[in-house]
Chains A and B, each alone.
Chain A
């Protein structure tokens, strides 16, 4: 079974600073997808960024970027120039290429302070 581990239950960052959220996963598959989802309080979960395992280049989306280390099975999320609106739960998720269900980690609660 594939597992996703987020070792940081909570993280805090000051506005305009940079923060990195950690994620590791366990799989025997060679082809898969990795995702970071954001879940604001009492609001729906939305996709932040995705990474295809076959791509060596790290994905970036504006202020969000990932550090994908396939051999180490590590997939961290870097948020640059943090904003108050970034405060939320962040979930790392994994999906094998041939399947559809996402496997989620337990999440990291990000607090952004002024």
Chain B
């Protein structure tokens, strides 16, 4: 079974440029998460989707960040314009609904460097 797939793995851009990250969750997982992990820190939730609905986006900086999950499967996270402080690893994770195990399955992440 394929795991959570993210692309690109690495991205280097200059500040004020736009950038987009793509995530394909595990087949059948209806819940999808985007986390941001700063260097030396634990992941912090940006947004959580249940199917195509964003049910928790309270930590998403809406002035420059946007996300979508149009058909309830894969998702895109966009930053426009990027700032120096956006340099981080962006992690996508998925899980299956109301599982009491609560296990999230993570992708390898997209490492963003803003110059």
Contacts and interface: CB of A to CB of B under 8 A. Distances in A.
A16 interface: no
Interface residues of A, number: 23
B41 A106 contact: yes
Contacts of B102: 33, 35, 50, 95, 100, 102
Secondary structure type dominating chain B contacts: loop
Interface string A77-114: 00000000000000101010100111111110000000
Interface in A27-68: 33, 35, 42-47, 50, 52
Interface residues of B, number: 24
Contacts, number: 54
Contacts of B3: 44
Nearest to B50: A100
B31 interface: yes
B90 interface: no
Interface of A: 4, 33, 35, 42-47, 50, 52, 91, 93, 95, 97, 100-107
Given A43-B108, A45-B106, 13 more contacts: A4-B42, A44-B4, A46-B106, A50-B101, A50-B103, A93-B42, A95-B102, A100-B33, A101-B56, A102-B104, A104-B44, A107-B41, A107-B42
